[in-house]
């Protein structure tokens, strides 16, 4: 399941999350964002219960986008323990996203 974020719920959903978070910064008019979206959905399904997957529309949530210096979309950010730990800009293969996520998923599993 993918959680839709806004400027209002970003802190609660991402920064206060017990699980590692993958956040997709996107926009409706962004072609490359539409290419990344199915990959993000697949990751959400495959890692349900281990990873929180969220999407935030940069046009509807300008404060959060500005706070994190989003200059290009799609931008995928990984948050762990309330901090940004990885950033992927542009369209990349699913394996590359998974490889960036793995250390945080393993760390979270150890802490269970």
- Span 30-71, pLDDT tens digits: 999 999 999 999 999 999 999 999 999 999 999 999 999 999
Instruction: Please state the pTM of the whole predicted model.
Output: 0.96
Cβ-based burial of 34 (10 A; exposed 0-12, middle 13-18, buried ≥19): middle
Residue located via tokens 């996107």: 26
Q: How many CB atoms lie within 10 A of CB 5?
A: 23
Active-site option among 33, 39, 76, 101: 33
Question: Band of the pLDDT at 110, cuts 50, 70, 90?
Answer: confident
Active-site option among 5, 22, 30, 58: 30
Chain mean position to CA 4: 10
Question: Band of the pLDDT at 111, cuts 50, 70, 90?
Answer: confident
Q: Cite the DSSP H helix spans in the chain.
A: 10, 31-46, 62-67, 94-110
Report the greatest alpha carbon distance in the chain.
40
Mean local confidence (pLDDT), 5-14: 97
Tokens of 51: 């990873």
Chain mean position to CA 28: 16
Q: Look at the domain 2-110 and name its fold.
A: Glutaredoxin (3.40.30)
Please, what sign has the CA dihedral across residues 107, 73, 17, 43? negative
21 is an active site residue: no
């Amino acid at each position: 399941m993918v959680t839709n974020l806004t400027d209002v719920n970003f802190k609660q959903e991402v920064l206060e999350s017990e699980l590692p978070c993958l956040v997709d910064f996107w926009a409706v008019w962004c072609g490359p964002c539409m290419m990344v979206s199915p990959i993000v959905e697949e990751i959400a399904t495959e890692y349900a219960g281990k990873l929180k997957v969220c999407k935030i529309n940069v046009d509807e949530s300008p404060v959060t986008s500005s706070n994190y210096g989003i200059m290009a979309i799609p931008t995928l950010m990984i948050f762990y323990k309330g901090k940004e730990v990885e950033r992927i800009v542009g369209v990349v293969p699913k394996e590359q996203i998974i490889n960036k996520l793995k250390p945080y998923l393993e760390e979270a599993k150890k802490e269970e």
